[in-house]
Amino acid sequence: MKIIAVNAGSSSLKFQLLDMPKETLLASGVVERIGLNDSIFTIKYNGERNKEITSIPTHSVAVEMLLEKLVGLNILKTLNEIEGVGHRVVHGGELFKDSVVINAEVIKAIEDVSDLAPLHNPANLTGIKAFQEALPNVTTVAVFDTAFHQTMDPVEYMYSVPYDWYTKYGVRKYGFHGTSHKYVSLRAADMLGKKPEEAKIIVCHIGNGASLCAVKYGKSMDTSMGFTPLAGIAMGTRSGDIDPAIVQFISQKENKTLDEVIHELNQKSGYLGLSGLSSDSRDLWEAVERGDKKSILAVEKQAKMIADYIGAYYISLEGCDAICFTAGIGENASETRKLIVDRLKALGVELDYEKNLTRGEEKIISKDSSKIKILLIPTNEEVMIARDTLRLSK
């Protein structure tokens, strides 16, 4: 059964075509700069790469082009082979605790929670509608970034603020990257030779955006992002946790609106803010090699924040079987993993520095004597989307 996993942004559309349940990747690609004259369509399949620069005015045109290519390049014989389309949707609020088959009611509900993710949900919906127009008879499924975290208890998801902020406006921790945290925690349990219901796992998803998740017996118990993805640990351009009074203070000192200050916390902070150089981990590590003090501070600050969260989750979980690293930095930057794990000595964690040099493949990178295993696990959100689409289209 062929399933397309889709991640639609406001001007982009990423896709993978998978053969399920084998989970074989048949094609993957991205359409970028939708709405501009020089849109870029890239598709990889069978060791080949096909790239075209042309005007793609809307997501609907992007989807038509993708479907034409799938047949035109002989990746599929006919479009009838496609039996499901799964879409990443950023925010499901409290309405969606699992993935769901999309119908008119679900679309309305995704629109209803859009004020919680005003940049993302409308873009995700554009992708959903474009595929529905092109493939009206195919089961379409929404897979929410927030759904995995809906198992958190109020003591984890409530903020200590006036209660009616929650009842009136839904102010609470939602958490994100749920699809990745779920995938990695399932792989981790498998690597440990345990059932998910037996394992206590901490997942560190460290990419440009970054969050941690405490997974107890297969369920998200706590996570570091909050009401928005700004909370938690320092990221490429996001600050992570700060004293909220700083927002008002800087707004007065620099004569900026609250929106402008929040924009700086989202776009000008984290690695970029502290280093003054770059939001990209590779650039930062090059600068660290040169002895650049601000870059050293940027990577150490992030490592400290991550280690502190791991400590907190170790307490919440009442122990831990494995700490997992995933996403662009977690999978590739051995230097970052070392900085973090070196701060965890109190937990009896020991990194195997040799094994830690691995990049982008599943591996146990702790010493045999380590009290907690350290696992490197490449994430695969598309496979999770395709699995849920398969499960719900039966």
Q: Which is nearer to ligand ADP, 140 or 332 (CB)?
A: 332
Give the residue with the Cβ less far from ligand ADP, 199 or 377: 377
| Interface positions, 261-320, toward ligand ADP (CB under 6 A) | 280-282
CB 339 within 8 A of CB 303: yes
CA distance 394 to 391: 6
Burial degree of 26 (CB within 10 A; 0-12, 13-18, 19+): middle
Task: Indicate which single residue of 39, 332, 366, 393 sits in contact with ligand ADP (rule: CB under 6 A).
Answer: 332
- The residue (of 16 and 393) whose beta carbon lies closer to ligand ADP is 16
Among 117, 333, 349, 374, binds ligand ADP (CB under 6 A): 333
Query: What are the phi and psi torsion angles at 29 (to 5°)?
Result: 180, -175
Encoded tokens for 211:
């969050």
Applying CB under 6 A, among 130, 327, 349, 365 the residue interacting with ligand ADP is 327
Q: For residue 351, what is the DSSP state? A: B
CB of 232 to ligand ADP, least distance (A): 13
Q: Which stretch binds ligand ADP (CB under 6 A): 141-149, 254-262, 302-310, 322-330?
A: 322-330
Regarding 10 and contact with ligand ADP (CB under 6 A), the answer is no
Q: Which of the residues are catalytic?
A: 145
What distance in Å separates the CA atoms of residue 104 and residue 265, rounded to the nearest whole number? 36
Give the type of residue at 387. R
Give me the least distance between CB of 120 and ligand ADP, in Å please.
13
Which residue has its beta carbon closest to ligand ADP?
328
User: What is the side-by-side strand order in the sheet with 219-223?
Assistant: 219-223, 210-216, 200-206, 322-326, 373-376, 363-364
Q: 192 near 199, Cβ under 8 Å? A: yes
CA gap 376, 391 in Å, rounded: 27
The token pair at 327 is 């996403």
DSSP state of 21: T
**CB 114, min distance to ligand ADP, A:** 21
H/E run at residue 29: strand 24-32
208 binds ligand ADP (CB under 6 A): yes
Choice between 84 and 378, CB closer to ligand ADP: 378
Q: Could you give the string, one character per residue 102-141, with x where binding to ligand ADP holds by CB under 6 A and - elsewhere? A: ----------------------------------------
**Residue 301 and residue 271 in contact, taking contact as beta carbons nearer than 8 Å:** no
Count the residues of the shown chain that bind ligand ADP, applying the rule CB under 6 A: 12
Contact 100, 158 (CB under 8 A): no
Burial class (CB within 10 angstroms; exposed 0-12, middle 13-18, buried 19+) of 195: exposed
Q: Which of 231, 333 has the CB closer to ligand ADP? A: 333
User: Do the beta carbons of residue 225 and residue 298 sit within 8 Å?
Assistant: no
Among 56, 138, 303, 329, binds ligand ADP (CB under 6 A): 329
**Choice from 29, 84, 175, 207 touching ligand ADP (CB under 6 A):** 207
Asked if 86 is part of the footprint of ligand ADP (rule: CB under 6 A), the reply reads no
Q: Rule CB under 6 A: is residue 328 a binding residue for ligand ADP?
A: yes
Does 236 bind ligand ADP (CB under 6 A)? Our answer is yes
**Least separation in angstroms between CB 72 and ligand ADP:** 29
Residues in touch with ligand ADP (CB under 6 A): 207-209, 236, 280-282, 327-329, 332-333
